[in-house]
Amino acid sequence: MKFDQLFGLISLIASLYILWQIRRLMLLFFTAVVLATALNQLVLQLQNLQIKRSWSVLLSIFGLLLLFIGFFFLIVPPFIAQFQELLKLLPAGISRVQDWLNYLENRFGGETEYLPNINDLIQEIQPLVMQVFERSVTILRISINAILEFLLVLVLTLMLLADPQPYRRAFIRLFPSFYRQRVDDILSRCATGLGNWTIGALIEMLFIGALSGISLLILQVPLVLAHAVLAGLLNFIPNIGPTLSVVFPMAIALIDAPWKAVAVLIVYVVIQNIESYWLTPTVMAQQVALLPAITLTSQIFFATFFGALGLVMAIPLTVITKTCLEEVLFKDILDKWENSYF
């Protein structure tokens, strides 16, 4: 192997190693790019109304802040009130369980010595509670890191959204001059793919929110609107989000009647199966032409290498990867491969 080939190989390995070490930072930057691209769709629509870009950006950010504030006041205060009521009812529920156990013991006598006593159960739970408190420092550290990462993504998103062209030109200059026009075209196609994915994700969120709201309304579960909005938003997180979204309505339904909690669980399982096996494959196939198997595989792959954030960003990462493979590998290399090589 010649020196220049050896040097190139070593440089490639070193570059891949550095990228692997900073993969978390790269993923945060990509998240900011995705958010900026999604918001840019709204900015472009406002620009079509003859509004300057600076004002369009400000209006988009202001609208997003209003949505966050509205979501906070819609979700948090009612849930706090309901959970306070749930905590008040908890001692009564424990007392009812104790009465039921005492009844069984009195009814069957010594044959039910195996029945647990509620005080024994509480004593067994106490070590678990101590472990929770011992791990509070770790939870606090993780929470602080998550807040700092969120702020970093927010700042990067605003910077990219305010004036994306300098960053785009700087990225294009990393490539040889003869290929820069092609890179610019690929970036445009990637932006279009991310825009289509954003529309598809919004369709899914609206569908899940509407279906959840109608189901909870039929079951007469309190806070229907709040639960519907939460179900739609958490659906953005694959696999984990739908599981989290069922916890709150089940807890609230439990205050009303135990059978409602079971009914809510069944309804959410049905809705999630409809979303997983029909809605997502259909919408994503229409919007970004992703096969269902590729969608699932990408979620597992990126979650394995990048953790929870990788799972959230699995679909947009797959959209970008698919676009780059189609444009670079297939069109620019394989489709131009001449038969004379064989």
The Cα–Cα gap between 59 and 67 comes to 12
- Tell whether 226 and 187 lie within a shared domain: yes
What is the Cα–Cα distance from 159 to 95, expressed in whole angstroms?
57
Q: What CA–CA distance (Å, rounded) separates 53 from 41?
A: 12
Per-residue model confidence as pLDDT tens digits over 119-133: 555 556 556 656 655
Q: State percent of the chain over pLDDT 70.
A: 78
Q: Which of 188, 195, 187, 205 is nearest to 287 (CA)?
A: 195
Q: Which residue matches tokens 């509205």?
A: 70
Distance (Å, rounded) from C-alpha 295 to C-alpha 27? 18
Q: What's the domain range around 143? A: 27-32+108-162
- Taking only Cα atoms into account, the Rg of the chain, rounded to an integer number of angstroms, comes to 26
**Residue (of 300, 312, 239) closest to 272 by Cα position:** 239
- Residues 204, 119 within the same domain: no
Report yes or no: 51 and 59 within 8 Å, Cβ to Cβ. Answer: yes
* Vertex 211 angle, CA 193 and 217, to 5°: 150
My answer on whether 207 and 295 are in the same domain is yes
> Rounded to 5 degrees, what angle do the CA atoms 80, 83, 85 make?
110
Span 156-209, pLDDT tens digits: 888 888 888 898 899 899 888 888 899 999 999 988 888 888 888 888 888 888
Is the whole model's pTM more than 0.75, yes or no? no
Are residue 251 and residue 292 in the same domain, yes or no? yes
Q: Say which range, 48-62, 85-99, 182-196, 290-304, has the weakest mean pLDDT.
A: 85-99
d(CA 210, CA 1): 63
Query: 3-state DSSP helix/strand/coil percent for the chain, to nearest 5?
Result: 90, 0, 10
Domain co-membership, 118 together with 245: no
- Residue 94 in any domain: the answer is no
Say if residues 149 and 21 touch (Cβ distance below 8 Å).
no
Residue 60 lies in a domain: no
- Write down the pLDDT at residue 342: 47
Q: What is the mean pLDDT of the chain?
A: 78
Mark whether 126 and 209 lie in a shared domain.
Answer: no
Asked if 9 and 136 count as a contact pair (C-beta separation under 8 A), the reply is: no
202 and 306: one domain?
A: yes
